Structure 1
Amino acid sequence: MGSGHHRLFLFLRPTVYILALISVFLLLVSSIDVNVPFLTQDIIDSSYDPRPTNLEMHLRKLRVQQTCKKYGDALRAPELVGKKNTLIWDLRDGLIYCRIAKVASSTWTTNLLRLDPEFNADLPESKRWLKEYGARENEAFRLYPVPKTESKRREALLKATKFLVVRHPMDRLVSSYLDKVADTSKEPNLLKHRDVKNAILEKAGKEPAVATVPSFPEFIDYVLEETNGKVGPKDWKGIMTWKSYTAKCLPCDVKYDVIMKLETHKEDERWLINTRNLTLLSKTRDWRHLSSSHSIRTNLISQLSKKQMKDIYKNYQVDFEMFNYNMDKYLALARS
């Protein structure tokens, strides 16, 4: 190599290293669900065309209506709408949200807390939205309570934008298992989750212990036994993280304006923020949903039998029908 080329190489080498480091950093950031302020794009877009998602939202709502009509009064429980932890009523911003565990629930309850300028206003930005400083689901329920009278509830349900987020029921069961049953690195956040874990182990003939993890098929057997034969919202009372969407959010009593899906969350979120002009969320939204890797999900699901898969569909059939999911790709993974 000539001396001129050698000097040029020495000059360019630090630049190449820096560019490589930046590329690696950007790749890492893009692969995880965190909010990096200088990379957060403002998604309030003056040229945004809502029409394609408008159509999809219309079709989703139509499917909900058709399913409610099919099952009739069996899916109705209007008296539950006014219960304390059914909905989060942010009437100042005209939003009513149904929180479903393991479906971006931390994301959206924190986003609603962000809409309140007073929440943790005395703390620095780096601490305001952390769970250890109170940014939790129960705080959102406390901050945005149920209107006290039925007439005020009816008025709010007419005027506000009502929304929920769903995902494939099978993926939600995987997420529930990993977070509430299989994670031995933390004490379950609720004693009843520890009790469930112990009940699964006992049913499988195993000695309950903190370090002993029930298998995914054992967990599914427990869920199937607990949810067998349940149809209407009142049937599902007492079921925890895997309560059916229909029982949790009462879509045959609450006419949701927006049905978001985790599978299309980015575009659905963009549509909601642009069409409802949620300016504050356009830059300060929070994304806390951590998806399990595809390989982990595939490995767990492939441990199930086809009978278990079919029983999951049967027990959650209303959710599958109402939100347009099927079991085809999962049945292909199942054991005979």
Structure 2
Amino acid sequence: MTLLPAAKSTRVVAILSFTVAILYYQHEAALKLPQQVADEYWFSLRGTGDERGQHEAKQTQIEIKNGQNYLIQSDAKQRQNEDKRVENEATYSRIKTEQRQADSDQADDNSGQLIQRQTNTGGTNTAGKDSKRKNAAAKHSRKTNAATNVSKRMGTMPHSTKVMNSVVGGMKLTNTAHYGTSKTNPAVLGVPVPLLTPSNGSALSQIDLSSYTKKDQTFLQRRLRVLTKRAQKVSEGCSQRPRLQRPGDLHLVWDIKRSPGILYCPIYKVGSTSWMMNFLRLTHFNENNPELLKLPPKKRKKMQFKSKYGAKQFKAYELFPPPADPEERDRAFRDSLRMVVVRHPFARLISAYRDKMTKLNPRPPEHRFRDLQRQIISQYRPRNSTEKSPFPTFAEFAQHIIDSTRNFHKREDWMKHVRCWVPYWAECNICGADYNLILQLETSKPDFNFVVRLGRMEELKKGNSEWRHLQNGTSSSSLLTQYFSQLTRLQIHQLKLRYLLDFELFGYRIGPEVWENAKD
């Protein structure tokens, strides 16, 4: 009888100890969230079937629900530094503006004094010279004002206008027309298109293949099954996000004279240059160029699609323009196949880094990527650093993206402030345009052959196409582990959150080797 209270007491102590242990474990796990997320994701990739799918779904939920809260706490100091940088940039911009205004006023004063001296000493011809000068100045002023007004309406700035805009995201210092051209050419500007809700790729099942050869029918049918699954996955992801289903302007190549018509939305660093050159091939571009006809046949073929002879990306926009009539344009947009090309989001960032951050004169010059390089180094490289490279490291570049896009939530945020690494969903308004031809750079050969055979693009057969997404013979995707080994797991996690929708819509994931080889 005397043992019963003691037994109860022991049981209570045991229960309390077990409860405390559980609470302590949960507290420790919460503090190590990014590490936990990374490890769970790594180990989940070793599973197969339903187990792996459930683990990936759980991984996504953990990132969405808990990741942002953790980042807010761990990045408090970085936000304070960012606020200080923004304040310094605003002060610098104000000083530069005042300096430019002072220089302009001084130039006006000097011009006025010169005119006055000429008036006093010019004799009988002074009045005529003054009149010519005034007429020329008035004409120049009218042209400048007209160009500025047109540019404001189109969202661009004249090439001659020097503007020091805020340096955020992708260094959009001069809001020139898309894809490198500095001219306000209507052919290369985005046009409004109607909203198309997700359709699960239903248009692909309605393609009539009866007029194709048996061999082409077999290939097209087999590839259609793959492309339909991709379209269905994107439609499923967009259906869960109705706020992203909004109409918007798009920069498209309108190849609508063939059947079925094909509309292509170029995305920077995803084979866009290659595709634009291939569209030029369809028009037999430069075949009768008098300058090229002077060259030997072999050299003529080599130089046919060089920028020196006008083969620039905006030419494809000019040669495949949208219909001028809005109703006809809307009808063509609905009835054509809408095509987009994607690749692993991290491989694309590496490609953008190599192209824009590791060259002294990255193209196009009007985007001033060299200025962005200097800014990144100034902000993220300590003064006592042993790194002496004149270019930002990949870690510095990645941190710039993480910090500068921290508060981006809408498509307009990315399109306004970023130039070359806008997410796919924002660049082409994926959830508002119902793309049904979703090609992937990882399967570029069969995907490209599908488009060529479906569109009967004879000009691109027999090895006449070209692909420029390789640099120095090495694909950026093969360097993913090498570059991301410079980042911590937290940086990798933060970077994925910035492009999370691209990962989910197009079925990409981070391989275990990336987490395993992270800096920490």
On whether the aligned pair clears a TM of 0.5, the verdict is yes
Pick the aligned partner of 1:97 from 264, 284, 295. Answer: 264
| 1:285 partner letter | S
Alignment of 1:295-306 (within 5 A): 296-306=479-489
Q: Counterparts of 2:352 and 2:438 in 1: how far apart (Å)?
A: 21
The one-character-per-residue Cα deviations of 1:152-197 (angstroms, maximum 9, x if unpaired) are 221111232221110000000001101100134x444234312221
Question: d(CA) in 2 for partners of 1:157 and 1:97?
Answer: 11
Query: What is the identity, as a one-letter code, of the residue corresponding to 2:459?
Result: L
Q: Distance in 2 between matches of 1:153 and 1:306?
A: 47
TM-score of the pair, normalised by structure 1: 0.78
Structure 2 equivalent of residue 107 of structure 1: 274
Amino acid at match of 1:170: F
Question: Shift of the alpha carbon at 1:72?
Answer: 0.9
The aligned counterpart of 1:138 is: 314
Q: How does 1:11-30 map to 2 (within 5 A)?
A: none
Counterpart CA distance in 2 for 1:206 and 1:278 is: 54
Other structure's SS at 1:47 match: helix
TM-fit CA distance, 1:216? 0.4
| Counterpart residue number, 2:398 | 220
Give the partner amino acid of 1:52. R
Contact 2:356-2:362 at 8 Å conserved across structures: no
Q: Which amino acid aligns with 2:235?
A: Q
Q: Aligned residue for 2:336? A: 160
Q: Give 1:52's aligned residue.
A: 222
Check if 1:335 corresponds to 2:509.
no
1:324 to 507, 513, 516: 507
CA contact (8 A) 2:362 2:369 kept: no
CA distance in 1, matches of 2:338, 2:286: 22
Deviation string for 1:235-281 (max 9, x for gaps)? 21231110010111112222222111011111111122122322221
Between the aligned partners of 1:142 and 1:225, the Cα distance in structure 2 is 37
Q: Which residues of structure 1 form unaligned runs of 5+?
A: 1-43
Q: Where does structure 2 lack aligned partners over 5 or more consecutive residues?
A: 1-211, 293-299
Distance in 2 (CA, whole Å) between partners of 1:270 and 1:242 is 27
Aligned letter for 1:268? D
Equivalent position of 2:364 in the other structure: 189
- 1:20-43 superposed Cα distances (whole Å, 9 cap, x missing partner): xxxxxxxxxxxxxxxxxxxxxxxx
For the pair shown, which has the larger CA radius of gyration, 1 or 2? 2
Query: Which residue is 2:425 aligned to?
Result: 246
Match of 2:452 among 270, 273, 295: 273
Query: Secondary structure of the residue that 2:432 maps to in structure 1?
Result: coil
The equivalent position to 2:437 in structure 1, one of 258, 267, 272, is 258
Identity %: 29
TM-superposition CA deviations, 1:277-307 (whole Å, max 9, x none):
2222123212222154566443211111111
Residue-pair matches, total = 285
Matched, 1:288 2:468: yes
Give me the whole-angstrom Cα distance separating, in 2, the residues matched to 1:120 and 1:165. Answer: 28
- Aligned partner letter, 2:228: H
Structure 2 CA distance for partners of 1:118 and 1:266, relative to 1, 3 Å = closer
Aligned CA RMSD, in angstroms, stands at 2.3
Shifted more, 148-157 versus 195-204: the winner is 148-157
Asked if residue 78 in structure 1 is aligned to residue 247 in structure 2, the reply is yes
Q: TM-score, normalised by structure 2?
A: 0.51
> CA, structure 1 residues 333+134, in 2 after alignment: closer, same or farther (shift >3 Å)?
farther
* Offset of residue 120 of structure 1: 5.3
Q: Which has the higher contact order (CA 8 A, sep 6+)?
A: 1
Deviating more after overlay: 141-150 vs 233-242:
141-150
Counterpart contact for 1:188–1:194, Cα < 8 Å: no
- Structure 2 CA distance for aligned equivalents of residues 287 and 327 of structure 1: 25
CA contact (8 A) 1:109 1:140 kept: yes
Give 3-state SS (helix, strand or coil) of 2:411's partner: coil
Structure 2 match to 1:125? 301
Shift of the alpha carbon at 1:198? 1.6
